[in-house]
Amino acid sequence: MELEKNTLTVRPIEAAIVTILLMGILGYLIIGVQVVPHIAIMTGIALLLTYGAVKKVGFSELEQAMVDGIKPGLGAVMIFFFIGMLISSWMASGTIPTFIYLSVELVTGKFYYAIVFVVTAIIGLCIGSSLTTAATIGVGFIGASIALDISPAITAGAIISGAFFGDKMSPLSDTTTLAASVADTDLFEHIKDMAWTTVPAFIISFFVYLFLSPKTTSESIQKIDAIKGTLLDQNLVHWYSIIPFIILAVLALKKVSVIATLFAGTISALIISFWVNNSLGFKGILELLYSGYKSNSGITEVDSMLSRGGIESMMFSISIILLALSMGGLLFKLGIVPALISVVQRILNRVSLLVCSAAGMAVAVNFIIGEQYLSILLPGNAFKENFEKAGLKPKHLSRVLEDAGTVVNPLVPWGVCGVFLSTVLGVSVTEYALFALFCLLSPLITLFYGFTGISLPKTKKL
């Protein structure tokens, strides 16, 4: 991998100081000062460029490092473009409005957050994509919560928890397949072993969401009726509007490529849009793919729910991702990430430390680089031999990679998933992070098992 070619050999203590300083600056600017993440990341890039100049690394090399850092994320960028078009076309076709209509029906029960969690988990499991789940049915749930004065932050946390449960346990998921591949274990053995940590995390999350769910009030029932009436008046609720979702789910189950699947979902929605929104005309239907769907019902709550999507809406996310990945490229080129990996490998003398180190590195890569795939690849390659020497099976390593790599990325404000989810759901990472219970519990449970030995075989001395 090009990122692994570093120019400098730095001492681990120096790498640790630079990393702590970098993370401190990013955290302070994004959380404390609340500047847009772009400025915080640019500040981090400036710090690393200065560090490289002090170390006498050529600026041309640093520029190439930033380009190399971006390359692994280009596939995600293309997917974001297609998801932007998917959302706007699904708004125009009535697909998401129909989901919203069905979602507000569920609000009449007492268990809204728990229902959101379970429904998104099932859909995520079926289609194998947390981001697609959040961008489709998740948008419906978040829109309903905003209109009904139900906490968008908790709703977003439940959506993300359910979506990442489904993504993590689905054989259709790219991260699930990647973790099994990196650890050299059978895909279904990997999924079966993940049940040890995933099932407890799911159960605990479900009961907490039950407890947090709001009670029904007459005011919310009145709002439900008003929203449903407006959606019907706008001609946005139809049984055939669900067809694009069915097409997307079927293609995902058949393991068709992500871009082809999203493209089919968009085209089918556009065709339906000519019947549902014929007043827009051919040009208007095509223009919304870029600028997004604009609702003009006159009802503020409904318009805020439906005015979403388009390529343009993804530009904020994509720019952050490209900046974060370029910063990651600098961290590799300057030898900082390799130095941190080397020191962790030298202090392993117990299985508990091994599991903790692998999980810790997966979390650290998410926060330092912001890239989900690298949070699986780097610790997987770094600790594969150590797990084997300890008598642990490959499936135990792949489970740790998923528990601390895959599900942590949405908790990182500058991470690929965090940026995307905050954009499509309209809730910042800092607002929903505490309520993404499944994502918080998974790494904690895997650490608990590492220290207690639960689900692990008797091991050799390291």
Average the pLDDT over each of 13-22, 44-53, 383-392 and give the range with the smallest value. Answer: 383-392
Which residue's entry shows tokens 């697609």?
A: 132
Alpha-carbon distance of 230 to 306, in angstroms, equals: 12
The Cα–Cα gap between 177 and 154 comes to 30
Please determine, for residue 458, whether its predicted confidence score (pLDDT) is greater than 70. Answer: no
Q: Which domain holds residue 277?
A: 75-313
What pLDDT, in 10s, does the model give residues 225-273? 777 788 888 888 888 998 998 998 888 778 788 788 889 999 999 999 9
Same domain for 327 and 300: no
CB atoms within 10 A of CB 291: 14
**Cα–Cα–Cα angle for 351, 408, 127, rounded to 5 degrees:** 110
- Whether 458 maps to a domain, the answer reads no
- In the predicted structure, residue 366 carries a pLDDT above the cut 80: yes
Which run of H or of E encompasses 460?
A: none
Q: How many CA atoms lie within 13 A of 216 on its CB side?
A: 12
- Structural domain contains residue 461: no
State residue 437's pLDDT score.
95
**Alpha-carbon distance 447 to 197, whole Å?**
10
Question: Cα(50)–Cα(68) distance, rounded to whole angstroms?
Answer: 19
pLDDT category at 163 given cuts 50, 70, 90 is very high
pLDDT of residue 1: 46
**Mean pLDDT of the residues in the chain:** 82
- Which is nearest to 301 in space by CA: 143, 102, 155? 143
Q: What is the pLDDT of residue 320?
A: 76
Burial label, 181 (beta-carbon count in 10 A; 0-12, 13-18, 19+): middle
Domain membership of residue 376 (yes or no) is: yes
The tally of domains found in the chain comes to 2
Cα(225)–Cα(230) distance, integer angstroms: 9
One domain, residues 274 and 326:
no
* Least confident window among 142-146, 329-333, 424-428: 142-146
Please, what sign has the CA dihedral across residues 54, 55, 56, 59?
negative
What tens digit of pLDDT does each residue of 337-353 get? 788 777 766 666 577 77
pTM: 0.72
Does 109 lie in the same domain as 51? no
Top pLDDT among 258 and 461 is at 258
Question: Which residue in the block uniquely carries the two structure tokens 């910063």?
Answer: 327
Q: What angle do CA 75, 336, 164 make, to 5 degrees?
A: 40
403 and 376 within one domain:
yes
Determine the distance from the C-alpha atom of residue 7 to the mean position of all C-alpha atoms in its chain, rounded to a whole number: 31
Residues 140 and 226 in one domain: yes
Domain identity same for 67 and 79? no
Q: Cα(437)–Cα(329) distance, rounded to whole angstroms?
A: 31
Does 459 map to a domain? no
pLDDT for 16 beyond 80: yes
* Average confidence (pLDDT) over 130-134: 83
Identify the pLDDT of residue 290.
92
Four-point Cα dihedral 349, 180, 369, 59, nearest 10: 100
Q: How far is CA 268 from CA 98, 132, 255, 260, in A?
A: 16, 16, 18, 12
What pLDDT score does 259 carry?
A: 83
Closest CA to 334 of 68, 70, 55: 55
| Helical pair 243-253 and 74-92, crossing angle rounded to 10 deg | 150
pLDDT digits (tens, 9 = 90+) for 281-332: 788 888 899 998 888 877 776 776 678 788 988 887 788 778 877 887 888 8
- Does 423 reside within a domain? yes
Could you tell me if residue 261 is inside a domain? yes
Tell me, what's the pLDDT at 165? 94
Provide the H-helix boundaries in 170-257.
174-183, 187-212, 218-233, 243-253
Give domain status of residue 332, yes or no: yes
| Residues 218 and 235 placed together within one structural domain of the fold | yes
**What's the full length of the chain, in residues?**
462
Of 271, 290, 313, which residue constitutes the final position of a domain? 313
Residues 185 and 97 in one domain: yes
- The per-residue pLDDT for 283 is 84
Q: End-to-end CA distance of the chain, in Å?
A: 29
Local confidence band at 198 (pLDDT 50, 70, 90 cut-offs):
very high
Alpha-carbon distance 460 to 351, whole Å? 9
pLDDT computed for residue 106 by the predictor = 63
**Best mean pLDDT range from 77-91, 110-124, 164-178, 427-441:** 427-441
Query: Would you state the pLDDT for residue 223?
Result: 64
The residue type of 205 is: S
Last residue of a domain, one of 286, 313, 340: 313
Query: At which of 313, 336, 357 does a domain end?
Result: 313
Angle at 35 between CA 31 and CA 39, to 5 degrees: 115
Q: Hey, is 231 helix, strand or coil?
A: helix
Contact 176, 255 (CB under 8 A): no
How far apart (Å, rounded) are the C-alpha atoms in residues 305 and 104? Answer: 12
How many angstroms separate the CA atoms of 411 and 403, rounded? 13
User: Would you state the pLDDT for residue 6?
Assistant: 55
- Asked if residue 460 is part of any domain, the answer here is no
Cα(325)–Cα(2) distance, rounded to whole angstroms? 13
Per-residue pLDDT, 414 = 81
**In this model, does residue 380 exceed pLDDT 50?**
yes
Rounded CA separation 438/449 (Å): 16
Q: Does one domain contain both 62 and 157?
A: no
Kindly state the percentage of the chain with pLDDT values over 90. Answer: 19
